[in-house]
Structure 1
Amino acid sequence: MLQIMDTVRDRGSRYAASGGEVADAAAIKSFLTALKSQKKFAKATHNTWAALLPDGTALKDDDGESGASAVILKMLEREGRRGRIVVVTRWYGGVNLGGDRFAHVVTSVRLWLAEAAKQ
């Protein structure tokens, strides 16, 4: 599991990106369970994720951050990153970010993809 903390900070909200390899829905569930077993991620406001399985099946969950998982999925598809899950975690800072939240999701996923490519 590759985690990048504090990819973005904006008006009190903090973002992090995590991800790894997944082969099926059971692996996604296991990945999310492991992530949320860490206290800081369990207490997050949103753990939005998308996964592109090796066979091309796309799975996603907004976890209350409406539309964010579609952004993550589109980036995984564009990069051809099959067999991967990316989770963008947000700790809400008390200020509505509006459309800026999508830019922060994109930034977080880009940073994760760049770090994952190095490994």
Structure 2
Amino acid sequence: MRTFDKIITDRGSKYAVSGAPCRDGGEARALVEQLRKAKRFARATHNSWGLLGADGPVKNDDGESGAGMIILQQLEAAGMERHLVIVTRWYGGKHLGGDRFRHVRDAVAYYLAALEAGR
């Protein structure tokens, strides 16, 4: 699994993005649990994810309402199938309103660009 940590900071909230090749929802849940074994990610407020898998689109907002759908939309637009993307947020104490959706989009875009660049 590739992880890019501390890529966005806004009003105390911090974001990371992770991902890995993945076949289906069951494997996605196992990969998310693997990520959460790291103490830092276990303490995150949200680990939202999306996957266009063999069994169709699967997502989990993990309390960040709408985040999973944003991830799925970007994966669809990029034609990225069978690849799990997880956007992690550590809440900083101030509500971000609609900016949180922009940050989820930016995190996924960062991940996709890094894959394309071979980082």
Length-normalised TM-score, structure 1: 0.95
Contact 1:19 1:85 in 2 (8 A): yes
- Give, as a single letter, the amino acid of the residue that structure 1 aligns with 2:2: L
Contact 2:11 2:94 in 1 (8 A): yes
- Separation (CA, whole Å) in 2 of partners of 1:103 and 1:32: 22
5+ long unaligned stretches in structure 1 = none
1:66 CA drift (Å): 0.5
- Specify the alignment match of 1:80 in structure 2: 79
- Specify the alignment match of 1:100 in structure 2: 99
- Specify the alignment match of 1:34 in structure 2: 34
1:56 CA drift (Å): 6.4
Q: Deviations over 1:43-90 (max 9, x none)?
A: 00000000111x361000100000111000000001000011110000
SS of residue in 2 equivalent to 1:74: helix
- Separation (CA, whole Å) in 1 of partners of 2:24 and 2:10: 34
Length-normalised TM-score, structure 2: 0.95
- Separation (CA, whole Å) in 1 of partners of 2:71 and 2:26: 20
- Separation (CA, whole Å) in 2 of partners of 1:39 and 1:101: 23
- Separation (CA, whole Å) in 2 of partners of 1:88 and 1:94: 18
- Specify the alignment match of 2:59 in structure 1: 60
- Give, as a single letter, the amino acid of the residue that structure 2 aligns with 1:88: V
Contact 2:25 2:55 in 1 (8 A): no
- Specify the alignment match of 2:43 in structure 1: 43
- Specify the alignment match of 2:116 in structure 1: 117
- Specify the alignment match of 1:89 in structure 2: 88
- Give, as a single letter, the amino acid of the residue that structure 1 aligns with 2:86: V
Contact 1:2 1:116 in 2 (8 A): no
SS of residue in 2 equivalent to 1:14: strand
- Separation (CA, whole Å) in 2 of partners of 1:89 and 1:12: 14
